[in-house]
Structure 1
C-alpha cells in the first residue's frame, strides 16, 4: 500500500474513530463500532470493509456477528504514533467525502468534553489505559520511568531489555514469547509516544507482557467497555513493591 492510500484510509473521521477504539486490543462488532462512532450500521460496514481491504483490520465471523480488530501490534503502533503527532492549535482534519459534513478534530487535539460522562472517560484514559496490548497514560509513562530507573530496560543504544530486566521477569514468573526479538518476531522492547502525556511508554513484547500480567493478576481492571484502566489496591501494592511506584 502506498503512503497516499494509507493516508486516504485514515483521513476519514469515522474510520479514524474505529481505529482509535480498537486500540483497546479487543475485537469489536460492526454494530458496536457503529454506535461508538454514531453512524448507521450500513455506513460502518462500508468503512470497515475498506479498512480490512487495506490491511489495517482483520475480521472474524461468528454466526451473525462480524468481529474486527487491528491487524497487529504494528498497526496499533502506527495509529498511536499518528494520534500523538503534534498539530497547530485549532487544526482540524481535512473535510470528509460527504458534502455537508463538518471537519472534526484529530483524536490528539485537545477538545472541550461535550458532557460530564465524556470528561470522566477522557480523564480516566489519561490516568491509565491500554494502547492495544500495553499500558499507556500516566500509568504507562510511570512504569517506563521506573523500569529505566531500576535498570530493567536501557535506552542508551535504543530501547532494550537488560540482564537485570530478564532476571526481574523470571522472579515475577512472567515469560516473553519465544520469537520475541528474533527475525520476523516482535521487538522485545520499543517505546511508544503517548498521545496524552507526550512522553514514551513501553511497547513491544515486554510492554505487552507487563500489561497482560497486570490484567491477569488483577493489578488493573478495565473501566466499562473502553480503554480506560483502574489500578486496584493489589495493583498499588504490587507496583510499589516491584517498581517503587507510589500511585
Structure 2
C-alpha cells in the first residue's frame, strides 16, 4: 500500500472542466453565488450544485452563508497558489483555450491573484523591491529588511499593523503569464489595497483584471520603474 498525499484525488477534483471553470472564477477573490458560478462554468444550476458539493467536500472551496444566500470562495490562499501554478504550467505547455486577444493583454498587464497584484506590473513591483534590498530569504516566505520596512512605509503600509494570519508576511508567487515571481502574502495584499486606496487602479467587475488610471500608471512607473520595451 502506498503512503503519502493522494494527488490523484485532488487532481480529479480540479481536472473536471466545469469545476476548473468554477475555481478559475473564484480566483478573483470575490465570493460568488451558485447561480453566478453556474453561469461562469456554462452549466445548469443543478449541475453546479453537485460540483460545488464535491469541491467543498474536497476542501477546495468554502461556503459563506449570508441571510438566505450561500456564497462560495476559495478555501484559502494555498488553493489560490496551487491554481496559479497550474495556470502557469498550462500556459507554458501550450494548453490555452483561446488565442490571446485584447482581454488577455489586460490580464497579462495587471490582474488580481486571489488577493495581490499579478501580471507584468506585479512582477515589476517585486523585482524593483528586490533590487532595492527589501527582502531577505527566510524558512517560510521572505522577511523584510530594514530597507524594506522603510520602502514599504513610504508607500503607506505599516507591516506591524497588518492583521494577524497564518499566511507569511511576504512570499514569492510564480506568475503564470510572466513566468517570474510577484509578491504574495499579507504584504502583497496590503500593497494592492494601498494602490486601490490611492486610486491608482480599480477592479474590472466580474474579471481578474486590474485597470490602472493614467495617473496611477504614471505613479506606479515612477516608483517601480517603467515597463521593459
| The two structures share one fold, judged by TM-score above 0.5 | yes
Q: Structure 1 stretch 212-221 or stretch 235-244: which is displaced more? A: 235-244
Q: Structure 1 stretch 53-62 or stretch 151-160: which is displaced more? A: 151-160
Tell me what 1:75 maps to. 79
Maintained 8 Å contact 1:135/1:202: yes
Are residues 89 and 204 of structure 1, via their aligned partners in 2, closer, same or farther at CA, if it must alter by over 3 Å? closer
Q: Deviations over 1:199-238 (max 9, x none)?
A: 1111111111111111222211112320001111332243
**Which structure shows the bigger proportion of residues in helix conformation?**
2
Maintained 8 Å contact 1:221/1:230: yes
Are residues 51 and 24 of structure 1, via their aligned partners in 2, closer, same or farther at CA, if it must alter by over 3 Å? same
The residue matched to 1:214 in structure 2 has which SS? helix
Tell me what 1:110 maps to. 96
Q: Structure 1 stretch 209-218 or stretch 79-88: which is displaced more? A: 79-88
Residue 46 (structure 1) aligned to one of 29, 46, 50: 50
Maintained 8 Å contact 1:194/1:200: yes
Maintained 8 Å contact 1:57/1:71: yes
C-alpha distance in structure 2 between counterparts of 1:201 and 1:124, whole Å: 17
**Structure 1 residues 101-140: aligned runs within 5 Å:** 109-113=95-99, 119-140=101-122
Residue 179 (structure 1) aligned to one of 164, 169, 172: 164
Tell me what 1:218 maps to. 199
**Structure 1 residues 229-240: aligned runs within 5 Å:** 229-240=210-221
Tell me what 1:164 maps to. 147
By how many angstroms is 1:169 displaced? 2.1
C-alpha distance in structure 1 between counterparts of 2:74 and 2:221, whole Å: 33
Q: Does 1:206 align with 2:150?
A: no
Residue 194 (structure 1) aligned to one of 175, 179, 191: 175
By how many angstroms is 1:178 displaced? 5.0
Are residues 178 and 88 of structure 1, via their aligned partners in 2, closer, same or farther at CA, if it must alter by over 3 Å? closer
Tell me what 1:106 maps to. none
The residue matched to 1:39 in structure 2 has which SS? coil
Aligned positions, number: 221
Q: Which runs of 5+ in 1 are unaligned?
A: 91-108
RMSD: 2.4
Maintained 8 Å contact 2:33/2:72: yes
C-alpha distance in structure 1 between counterparts of 2:164 and 2:69, whole Å: 32
**Structure 1 residues 139-158: aligned runs within 5 Å:** 139-154=121-136
By how many angstroms is 1:86 displaced? 5.0
C-alpha distance in structure 2 between counterparts of 1:199 and 1:89, whole Å: 16
By how many angstroms is 1:20 displaced? 1.2
